Structures are given as C-alpha cells and as structure tokens.
DNA sequence: GTCTATAGTTAGATAGAC
DNA sequence: GTCTATCTAACTATAGAC
C-alpha cells in the first residue's frame, strides 16, 4: 500500500469515528506514521483528503452494486421465479453485512451520519445510499417479485419499507458492537422470516405456513 | 424567558445542527444576542452549557413518559382489551411526532446522532431512548397486548422490532424535512396498518379486513 | 518524500471597565 | 450582567533543510 493509500485509509477510519472537524491533520499523520507536514506532499490539504474518501466510497459502491445487486453470473438465470424465504433472507443478510462490516461502506456510512446534519451534499449522499435510495431500489425488486407471483400483490413501497426498516434499525443498534455478529444476524433472520410469512405468495396468509415455518431453525 | 434559558435554547438548536465541537461559544452568544464573554456570567464554559442541555433533555423525557406512556387519566381504564388498529396507529403517530417535532426531544436526538460515535456516554443515552430502550418498552406493551388477546401470540421482541423499526427509519428519512408532515404520516400509517394486519388478533390474518381497510384514506 | 521550525488563524476563556 | 481588550492553546498550512 502506498503512503497515499495509507493516508486515505487512516483518514476514513478517523472521520468515521469523529467526523470531519474533530479529526486533525496531525492525527491522520500519526496514524500513518509520519508527521503532519509530510501529508501536504500527497494532498493539498485536509479537505482534499476528505474529498478523496468520498470518491473512494463511490467507487466501492459502484463495484458492489455490480456484484451484489446486479449479478450477471450464471445463477441469475433462475431469476425471481424461484426466489423464496431463504433467498430473500440471504439477500437481507448480504445487504446488512455489507453496510455493517465492509471497511469502506461502514466507515463512510458512520461518517455520513455524523456529517449529514451540517452538510447538505453529504446528507443527499446518505439518503441516496442508506435511506430513500435503498428503499427505492428494493421497491423495484419487490415489484418484480410481485409480477413473478413470489410476493403478495400489495404496495411495493410499503413492502420495501417493511423489508428495509429492520435492516436499517439493526444497523444502528449493532453499529458499535461489531463482535455481536451472531446476535445481530439472529434478530435480522427472525425479522425477515416474519416479513416473508406476511408477504410471500399471491394471497397466502391463510395457507398454513404461518405456524409451521419455524421448523427452519 | 431568562437569559440563561435563552442560552440553553439556542445552544441546543446549534448542537443539534452541528454537534458539539463545531458550535462556538461566540455562535451561541450571537444567537442569544449578546457577546461571548457575557455567557461566562451564566455558565462556567461551553461544557457546562452542553451538560445543562443533557439535563434539560432528561427532564423532558421524564415528563413525557408520565404523560404519553403511563397515562393515569380516566381513559386508561379501558386498558389493552379495547386496543385496536386505530389505537395502535395513534400510539405510533404520537411517538413518531414526539421524536420528530418536540423542540427538546428532536433536537437532542439529532445531537446524539452526531455525537454518539465519539462519546460512549452519549451513545448509551441514544440507545436507551431511541434504539434498544424504545424497543424494550414496546416489547412490554406488546406482551400485555398478547395476554389480552389483541395481538397474536408471537415473540414480543420481534413484534416490537417490526413495530418500531419503520418509525425509526421514517424519523431518519424525514428529519431534514419538517414540512413534509402529511407525507410522513401517510407512510407511517400505511406501515402500521400492515403491521396490524399481520399481528392483530389471536390468528386473525384471514378475517377479511386485509383488502378493505384502505377505505380509511 | 520526510523532517523541524514557524507563520497565520481562530477558538475558549479571563480581566477589568461600565 | 454586558461590554472591549487580551491571553493562551490548538490547529492548518508553508518554508526550507536533508
């Protein structure tokens, strides 16, 4: 890793813990193992370091969207037709774990939560990736699942909201406790299981799966 | 309002917008209409102003808990037996609007969201009131509603999680848009209606209300 | 590309007049 | 209880040696 990369790496860690203004150029330098003035050979200043972190985040998100959300691997041929409780759960866990643990996404998300109230541009980014944007994306997914008959014919927006909000809540709950992975996953799985019981099938609320699905444990 | 109260009021507004370290003593003074050194006749320093805001928040929360959560008014005699979709919706809206719009609670909540990553004590307060604590309280409510037969016999923790997480998500979504009250309430009501359809009654999923409830709009 | 030394700036807080 | 003037400390950034 080059010094420039090290700087960005350490800077993002610090920004995610303290926000922009409480991180001092000297802190970043110390974390990298150099002195503050040396940073200015790599970046024009603190703001440029920050801007590069933003850029790095966008690159990572573009990358993961191609991997996780738009898989063009052979498996994608099975499409929505075969999506079931297990697949929906897998998708939820994948999304949750990425937002929670990915080095870039999780740190940048925390930084955005600190900065979004004072910086409208960062608030927009936060909303696009972690609030409205996330729900809107899932809305499209559920609209397709409804067409495929996998999910009940109800308002896709409300379905997406009820799917995503526990993920969002649990992210906040476990953000400070990266070691509680099993507990977090357990809660998420229970929540998604209930979600699937409510919404799967064309009108399958009284199809008898309500009580028996618990055997999956 | 005394100058001391004015200081606390303006300080909380600024802290909720910028967090602790980006608010300068001079900013608070200007907002109040005095000069910075004058503040020191009322408070020892910036930290004491902040601590007083914390105290004010605790007072407000104690007050509202007695009003909203533990109503000892005559109406409470009807108890959980008569709780229905409408009452649960009313409770959800009351909780949401308080967290969203109450001058003290909403500002303090925003400040906590900014500060919780760098201050463990503030993170604990945030969790107690807006994350774990909120769900734990509702867990107790739903446990009682289950006993009363109003809510289906399922894990009260998951029920509480699925009840509260949309409230929490919508709070983040509309935090910057206090004027979008009707839109926010609409989304919340749709979400809670679906919640009630899923959980109300001992096993009342196929009681025919599923499609027709939309007439309420 | 790293360092030491230092300039320039600004925030928190105090002194003392009114 | 408010002000002006001022101190001290801390941070960003630059200059210039190596």
Q: A41 exposed, middle or buried (CB, 10 Å; 0-12, 13-18, 19+)?
A: exposed
Instruction: Judge whether B35 lies within some domain.
Output: no
Burial (0-12, 13-18, 19+ Cβ within 10 Å), B77:
exposed
Write down the pLDDT at residue A204.
44
Nearest residue on chain A to B196, alpha-carbon basis: A198
A1 belongs to a structural domain: no
pLDDT in the model for residue A2 = 97
Q: What is the pLDDT of residues A101-122, one digit of tens each?
A: 999 999 999 999 999 999 999 9
Sign of CA dihedral B80, B83, B89, B90: negative
**For B120, nearest residue in chain A (alpha carbons):** A176
Yes or no, beta carbons of A194 and B110 under 8 Å apart: no
Task: State the residue for tokens 């925390």.
Answer: A110
pLDDT (average), residues B147-172: 96
Is the per-residue pLDDT at B49 higher than 60? yes
Q: Cβ contacts of residue A125 below 8 Å, gap of 6+? A: A54, A112
3-state secondary structure of B200: strand
Residue A196 lies inside a defined structural domain of this protein? yes
Domain for residue B114, yes or no?
yes
Q: Where are the alpha helices (DSSP H) in A3-154?
A: 3-18, 25-32, 36-39, 46-64, 85-101, 103-115, 120-130, 132-147
Q: What is the pLDDT of residue A79?
A: 55
Q: What's residue B22's pLDDT?
A: 98
Answer yes or no: is A72 within a domain.
yes
Q: Which residue has the higher pLDDT, B217 or B54?
A: B54
* Structure confidence at residue A217 (pLDDT): 39
Q: What is the CATH number of the domain that holds B63?
A: 1.10.357.10
Inform me whether the pLDDT recorded for B211 exceeds 70: no
> What average pLDDT does this structure show over A186-194?
97
The whole-angstrom separation of Cα A167 and Cα A187 is 10
- Smallest CA-to-CA distance from A201 within A162, A163, A152 is with A152
Q: Which residues on adjacent β-strands are paired with residue B151?
A: B200
> What is the pLDDT at residue B209?
39
Dig out the tokens for B55 from the structure.
């105290």
Asked if the Cβ of residue B7 lies within 7 A of any atom of strand C, the reply is no
How many domains are there within chain A? 1
Task: Report chain B's mean pLDDT, rounded to a whole number.
Answer: 89
| Averaged pLDDT, A46-71 | 90
Residue B206 confidence (pLDDT): 43
- Interchain contact A200–B (C-beta under 8 A): no
What is the per-residue pLDDT across B85-97, written as a single tens digit (0 to 9) for each? 899 999 999 999 9
Measured between alpha carbons, how far is B28 from B10 in angstroms, rounded to an integer?
Answer: 6
Q: Residue B146's domain spans which residues?
A: 53-216
A residues 5-34 lying closer than 8 A (beta carbon) to B: 16-19, 21-22
Let me know if residue B71 belongs to a domain. Answer: yes
The predicted pLDDT at position A212 comes to 41
């Amino acid at each position: 890793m080059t010094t420039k990369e090290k700087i960005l790496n350490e800077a993002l860690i610090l920004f995610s813990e303290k926000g922009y203004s409480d991180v001092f150029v000297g802190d970043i330098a110390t974390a990298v193992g150099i002195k503050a003035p040396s940073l200015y050979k790599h970046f024009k200043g603190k703001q440029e370091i920050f801007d590069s972190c933003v850029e790095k985040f966008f690159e990572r998100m573009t990358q993961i969207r191609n991997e996780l959300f738009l898989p063009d691997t052979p498996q994608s041929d099975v499409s929505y037709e075969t999506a079931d409780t297990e697949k929906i759960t897998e998708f939820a866990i994948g999304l949750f774990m990425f937002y929670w643990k990915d080095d870039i996404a999780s740190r940048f998300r925390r930084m955005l939560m600190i900065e979004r109230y004072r910086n409208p541009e960062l608030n927009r980014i936060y909303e696009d990736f972690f609030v409205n944007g996330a729900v809107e994306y899932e809305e499209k997914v559920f609209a397709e699942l409804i067409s495929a008959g996998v999910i009940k014919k109800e308002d896709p927006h409300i379905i997406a909201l009820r799917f995503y909000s526990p993920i969002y809540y649990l992210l906040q709950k476990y953000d400070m406790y990266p070691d509680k992975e099993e507990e977090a996953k357990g809660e998420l799985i229970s929540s998604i299981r209930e979600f699937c019981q409510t919404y799967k099938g064309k009108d399958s609320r009284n199809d008898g799966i309500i009580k028996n699905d618990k055997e999956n444990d």
